[in-house]
Amino acid sequence: MTAELTHAFALTDADRALLPTDDEVAEYGRRGWYLSRKLFTDAEMDTLVEATERFYAGHTDRRLPLRPPNLAYWTPEKGDVQRHNDYIHYESDEVAAILRKPLLGAVAARLAQAEEIRVWQSTLIYKPPRPEEQSNQVPWHMDRHYWQTCTSERMLTAFIPFHHCDERMGTITMVDGSNTWTEIPGDDSTRHFAHRDRSELEDLLHANASHNGAVVDKIPMIIPKGHVSFHHCRTYHGSGANLADAPRRAISLHLQDGDNRFRPYLKPDGTPVFYNHDVLVRRNDEGLPDYTDQNYCPTLWRE
Ligand SMILES: O=C(O)CCC(=O)C(=O)O
Ligand SMILES: [Fe+2]
């Protein structure tokens, strides 16, 4: 078993040349984002397109045993809006096989300066090529706000488009250095952006910037096919309309470092926060949700 694991998490010399350098890791710490080298082949990305088309047409290898309360799950009757499908790594084996490429976990481990990286969540995203479609706009947010039941401050996201992705397609856009900001207290930030007003979130972003004496410098990630954009869980990000004539297809692979565990967390009004995993994963020895459950949170990388 141990031998198998060591083998599974090994990198080739060619892989090692694709890891971020020490300078790049330091820059990620200052700016909150990192654009990788080419981590996936064109064939791997084309397989993702084909596998997710099969998924959209109804194929799954496994279904969630129950529907968690805040699940994002597009189905055809929702129409030509932006599609979000959580737990794609659980429901599609073909997708999971590609996401589990050791090199991806190894890059994340270097950025997070962690020995182990596990999947936290994966969301399959599809922005239809409709310039006016409001649901294509992703308001400014930081992912940490949605993961308040996590102890870790080092979690991060790998945004993996299946094709070249730029501003015209409504690529993910980072607010440079916002990972280092401190927050204005008082806002119930755990409310998901899908349920909040976009202009309210734009105002909040600017208020938080001035609170930190910073300016809002928005950096669209121009991501060549096979490359991956990473962002820290405290980096503000969002994205705009898809102005291209093809859909924008991507997976947001949210990642946790090995030390991450469940913690109880209360909203400002005193009600407890739940993450969808909390009704799915096994319980640990203390009876709390176990964020190391390999069924939902498989290990991607271990030193
Ligand atoms: O779809 C996008 O452009 C943004 C996705 C996102 O919020 C994320 O990857 O954390
Ligand atoms: Fe996000």
Measured from the Cα of 173, ligand 1's closest atom is 3
Mutate to test the pocket of ligand 1, among 125, 133, 218 (most ligand atoms within 8 A of CB): 125
Q: Which two tokens stand for residue 210?
A: 């001035």
Q: Is the CB of 143 under 6 A from ligand 1?
A: yes
- First-to-last alpha carbon distance for the chain, in angstroms, is 16
pTM for this prediction: 0.96
Q: Which two tokens stand for residue 179?
A: 């990972």
Ligand 2 centroid, distance to 7 Cα (angstroms): 32
Reading the chain (303 residues) residue by residue, the pLDDT tens digits are: 444 454 578 999 999 999 999 999 999 999 999 999 999 999 999 999 999 999 999 999 999 999 999 999 999 999 999 999 999 999 999 999 999 999 999 999 999 999 999 999 999 999 999 999 999 999 999 999 999 999 999 999 999 999 999 999 999 999 999 999 999 887 778 888 888 888 889 999 999 999 999 999 999 999 999 999 999 999 999 999 999 999 999 999 999 999 999 999 999 899 999 999 999 999 999 999 999 999 999 999 999
Whole-number Å distance between alpha carbons of 30 and 103: 23
Strands 138-141 and 299-302, sheet pairing: unpaired
- In contact, 154 and 263? CB cutoff 8 Å: no
Q: How many CA atoms lie within 13 A of 65 on its CB side?
A: 7
Domain with residue 145: its CATH number is 2.60.120.620
The parent domain of residue 214 ranges over 3-302
What's the DSSP call for residue 229?
E
Q: pLDDT tens digits for 62-110?
A: 999 999 999 999 999 999 999 999 999 999 999 999 999 999 999 999 9
Q: Which residue, among 29, 52, 20, has the nearest Cα to 228 in the 3D structure?
A: 20
Distance of CA 198 to the CA centre of its chain: 20
Q: Is the CB of 257 under 6 A from ligand 1?
A: no
Measured from the Cα of 123, ligand 1's closest atom is 9
Q: Which two tokens stand for residue 21?
A: 């350098």
Q: Would you state the pLDDT for residue 185?
A: 83
Count up the domains in the chain and report the number. Answer: 1
Q: pLDDT tens digits for 133-166?
A: 999 999 999 999 999 999 999 999 999 999 999 9
Whole-number Å distance between alpha carbons of 213 and 281: 41
